[in-house]
Structure 1
Amino acid sequence: MLILWLRRSLIWGGLINIKKETKKMKQSVLFISIILMSFVSRAVYAQQSDPVTTVKKLFTLISKPNSFINKEDSCYAAMDAMDILKLNKPYIKVYLNNLKNTGLFSSAYLSAQKEYYLDIEKDIKKDGYGTARDADMYTLSQDPPDNKVVLARLQKVTPLISGNAATVTIDFKTSDHYKLIYKLVKENNSWLINSIDATFGK
């Protein structure tokens, strides 16, 4: 009887230890899973909220020939060389709404674009024509660099961040020292393009 009791005790004790070890393993796996999920979430959030990523998304969109973002010319119903004689008002509304829906531009930038077309309309009423942009609107260059070049340069850019404002400067290392400067602001936890500038010379 004693031997039988000892055997049962050992078996029961072993089962208890196995259960304890299993519980510890489950807790360890759960803890590691939580840590990994937290790390992945932070990495994804950092990528989504990175100012450079916003600019990359813009130029990725520009790289698609049929993208609406390449059809700003459709906002003009009639032109004579660089003179805008008539606006395509219905399409302007569509175009501006599409810009908004990209989630890449700040409210201030979108307001400035709307104001641009209103100013042209005033010029047409006053002088009979408005003046079109004299450079590409996203690179501010009359000879814009290839989008692949822009995206490659962006891979090496570190944004300057100060609170809810950021600057992304793309140095193309050209003979004319051309630099493209994107100013971004943080709205609703997203970095949005607020203005675009470019510099030439030293």
Structure 2
Amino acid sequence: MDTPVDVVHCMLTVLFALVAVHALRHGVRSPGTGRRDRVDHLLHAAMAVAMAAMPWSLGRSLSGRTMTVLFTTAALWFPLTALRRRTADSLAALAGRLPPAAGMAAMAWMLRTSHGRAVPSHETLAGGVPATHHTVALGHAAGASVTAAVVTGLLTVYLLACGMRSLTRPMPSLRSATDAAHRAAATDPYGHLRDGAMALGTAVMLLMPH
């Protein structure tokens, strides 16, 4: 019988799979899409595929420095490409690209923490490790755990806020639509729904065991 955690993981896997298909299709097949937008969509598709696989045995292949470096680089891609063009609304462009950057950073963080834990074993302690060394190791582990909890909490809260904002953005009664929003909706009509669902799903994944 499936546990509640497995049920949630199944639901998230379906969500991320749909996001991956939509992002890949939109990035590859949409005419008139610029190179930067295509890279954005391909990165979103890659992240969604990785997130869908992470809770399962297939996700073990994601371990290692390569994938962590990949998503860390992706996290830097979004703000750096916004600052490349010096325009009057550079700050607005940067702010608009922070949510996907946070999602990529959360992915890199999850890969780092899920495969980087080191817990002292009973065999090691029984092999003659001095008590002072054991105490120091536990102190470092406790400090690292607090830091990890703070980083995870900040990423989760920010992604939840971004997800809610993205999902409510197309609603005229809640948020006035700008010309830029109309243009974005014309080229990517389900973009806000995809981005909002991805942000919320990533926030939940941050809090789930994997």
TM-score (norm 2): 0.26
More helix, by proportion: 2
More strand, by proportion: 1
Larger radius of gyration: 1
